[in-house]
Amino acid sequence: MPKASALIVGCGDVGGRLATQLLANDWQVYGLRRSIDRLPAGVIGVAGDLFGEACPAQWPTGQIDYLVYSTSATDHDEAGYQAAYVEGLKHTLSWLKQHGQQPKRLLFVSSSGVYGQQNGEWVDETSPALATRYSGRIMLEAEQVALRSGIPASVVRLTGIYGPGREWMLGQVRKGYRVAVDPPLYGNRIHADDAGGLLAFLLEADRQGKPLDDCYIGVDNDPAPLAEVVGWLRERLGVTEWDTEASVRRAGSKRCSNARAKALGWVPRYPSYREGYSAILEHI
């Protein structure tokens, strides 16, 4: 099979992990970001600003088989989200059109924040996405831009990403982070390596001619109650004190299912928080 090419727009943490896995499978990988000196070795850098309409000077001139849009907001407000996810995607699609490029598939990296469920319900790709916050509403708008782009597209709704460099939970547990036990407050997570791995898996599946759905949830096998996760981490970190000021302040409780991705053959490397955090704790 000839070498496939992919352009990863927003080639940061997850995008970089995706790039590394694609390179290991002999893909040609382009990575677009403002600062290309931080791209993984082997990635062809494309320095560009998604907030401007001007096409990056280093835009690939040959065929782009796959486009992965995996950016993140620079400013975490409504305008910042609109610029990063909606306008940035529109600019990217315009640049493709300018060069007469028609990828075989577009993967748009979205978020489980599009779901507004709050009572511990199980959520899958067929569940209503009724976001109540601006971040989720804007992400839904961006998903529609991708799905109506004229390019076969799949949105991948990632849940809470953790991993090396994403250790917020560990810091909170060390402070004595307290979380409600009853009713259970469910959290959903995916290790950063598995987030990149799911994207790589979907690209390979499409390249091999397997039909893809228009939406997948990226989550591990165990949407566990946060109190259980905190208790497990406290034991391993040797934390014995509680801090009443360091308590959970978040709305929403749902259990996301990865059944659709698993039915296609995807298997997470870190099936639950136990394996994922064990791997992190070994190196800190």
pLDDT band at 198 (very low <50, low <70, confident <90, very high): very high
pLDDT band at 181 (very low <50, low <70, confident <90, very high): confident
Q: What is the pLDDT of residue 246?
A: 62
234 burial (CB, 10 Å; 0-12 / 13-18 / 19+) is middle
pLDDT band at 250 (very low <50, low <70, confident <90, very high): low
**Which segments of the chain does DSSP mark as H helices, in order?**
13-24, 78-81, 88-98, 134-147, 168-174, 192-207, 226-237, 259-263, 273-281
Tell me what the mean pLDDT of segment 51-77 comes to.
94
CB 17 within 8 A of CB 193: yes
Query: Pick the residue with more confidence: 281 or 244?
Result: 281
In CATH, what is the architecture of 5-281?
A: 3-Layer(aba) Sandwich (3.40)
Alpha-carbon 251 to chain mean position: 20
Q: What is the pLDDT of residue 124?
A: 97
CB 66 within 8 A of CB 4: yes
For residue 143, give Cα distances in angstroms to 16, 161, 189: 22, 19, 21
Task: In whole angstroms, give the CA distance from residue 53 to residue 241.
Answer: 52
pTM of the predicted structure, to 2 decimals:
0.96
What is the percent of the chain with per-residue pLDDT over 70, rounded to a whole number? 97
Alpha-carbon 17 to chain mean position: 11
CB 101 within 8 A of CB 66: no
Q: Which tokens go with 258?
A: 């990865």
Helix (H, G, I), strand (E, B) or coil at 155: strand
Q: What is the pLDDT of residue 22?
A: 98
Amino acid code (one letter) for 264 = L
**Residue that is written with structure tokens 């998903």 in the block:** 143
Rounded (10°) angle between helices 192-207 and 13-24: 50
Q: What is the pLDDT of residue 97?
A: 97
pLDDT band at 179 (very low <50, low <70, confident <90, very high): confident
